[in-house]
Chain A
Amino acid sequence: MNTTEDRKILEGIVAGNEVIITTFYRKNLPYIRQYILQNSGNEEDAEDVFQDALILVYQKLKTDSLDLHSSLRTYFYGICKNMWRNRLRKNKKMIITEKLPEDAEIITPTVIQDIEHKEREHVYRKHFLKLSDACREVLSLIFQGNSMKDIARITGYSEGYTRKKKFECKRYLIEMIEKDHAYLELQLNPEKGS
């Protein structure tokens, strides 16, 4: 079922091709939005799930672990729906009564596990990208393993100021993450196996 068109889209996603990703986004968001709005979600939830599912596909492509036995669209919709069901379960908005979801054969237990394990990462990433440019620059350099001395040289700050900035930005980031309701729900209902 992996058609030439799907292959082109997958290549576009992994290469970060803006035209291909934008086309995929336009075509498929309405379906996911409708699904989420009909199942206790809002517009923001729909965008979050859509983007987080695309990130999962991207990461699987990067690590060569995408095992596609259906069309990309069916697979992608399956990930989005599972992700949303998972989030609803965590915030207790929905009691799952379905005996067997329609996508049970496409979305394997391994993929479901991946979805669960990535939940925390999505929250971390979302808040990091909301930081100021200066905070993002300093923290990115830290996360890439640079020393304070190197960061000070790259940014033009003094070493003392870099240290202070790193602390303030990181503390703020952690506080923002801790306040996120999705994070709180993850704390109350920890991911299996994490």
Chain B
Amino acid sequence: MERTPEIFEKIEGYLAHTLPKEEAIAFEKELIANPELQEEVEKHRVLHKTLSDKDTLDFKEKLMQISATIKEEQSHPPAPVSSPSYWKIAASIAILLGVGMLFWYTYTNQHNTQDLYGVYYEPFPVEDAMRGNTNNEMHSIIKNYAKGAYDSVAVVLEKHPNLDSQLQLYLGNSYLNIDQEEKAASLFKDIKSSGKYYEIAKWYLSLTYLKLNTPEKSIPLLKEIITYNGAYKDKATRLLTALEKK
């Protein structure tokens, strides 16, 4: 059954007993004849019943926070994605690269391109300019992205008709984290060659191809990044060397 705003409104009106009498009778008749509609109404009924219990929802949220805190204490998390300083990000990447390279040299024969993806991939960090965004929706998107709720970010951003390059990068990274690599690739390819995000988009596109296990597509991109001679040159050089050794 196709879900439309009109059907939702009708089901909600029926469940809340706010439909005019004639409409309610007609809807009940339709309901008897249509098992698919019955199922849909049942889904809405349980949804409303369960999620109107705010106390239990708050309790569940508290348990999730407690669990996250305990896990954080038990592990040594990597530097947060949201670190605002370029140097902090660069340092985290350098550490990751160091660990990654050590791992690489030790187990070189067992590695495949996807392992390299794991070593080199870091989500595109939230930029300071975005953090201060006063637009409610954008603020919420950035907050969700920073805390790793990538599916929520994707569902909101993919409905925006005109994404700028920066938001395309956030959406592309979200796709990468929810295993929708093809969509990520097409977004990164779309980023304009004239803007400051071009080099970054190339980097993430090369990583997307690694994740897709097509390193032959990553290599020309890495060479292009090296020739571009920007902020990603060093990383691209190391990754290219690692790929060529394979």
Contact = CB atoms under 8 A, between A and B. Distances in A.
Interface of A: 16, 18, 21-22, 25-26, 29, 47, 51, 54-55, 58-59, 62, 120-121, 124-126, 128-135, 139-140, 142-145, 155-156, 163-164, 166-168, 170-174, 176-177
A129 B60 contact: yes
B33 interface: no
Interface of B: 3, 5, 8, 12, 16, 43, 46-48, 50-52, 54-64, 66-67, 69-70, 136-137, 140-141, 143-144, 149, 151-153, 155-156, 159
B62 A21 contact: yes
Nearest to B4: A167
Contacts of A140: 51, 54
A4 B106 CA distance: 56
Given A121-B50, A171-B3, 8 more contacts: A16-B58, A29-B70, A54-B59, A55-B59, A124-B50, A132-B141, A132-B155, A167-B8
Contacts of B55: 62
A174 to B, nearest CB: 6
Query: Which label, helix, strand, loop or mixed, suits the secondary structure of the A interface?
Result: helix
A18 B8 CA distance: 38
Nearest to A123: B50
B50 A125 contact: yes
Nearest to A26: B70
5 contacts: A18-B62, A143-B48, A145-B52, A167-B8, A173-B47
B117 to A, nearest CB: 23
Contacts of B144: 132-133
A134 B52 contact: no
A139 B50 CA distance: 12
Contacts of A47: 67
B181 to A, nearest CB: 19
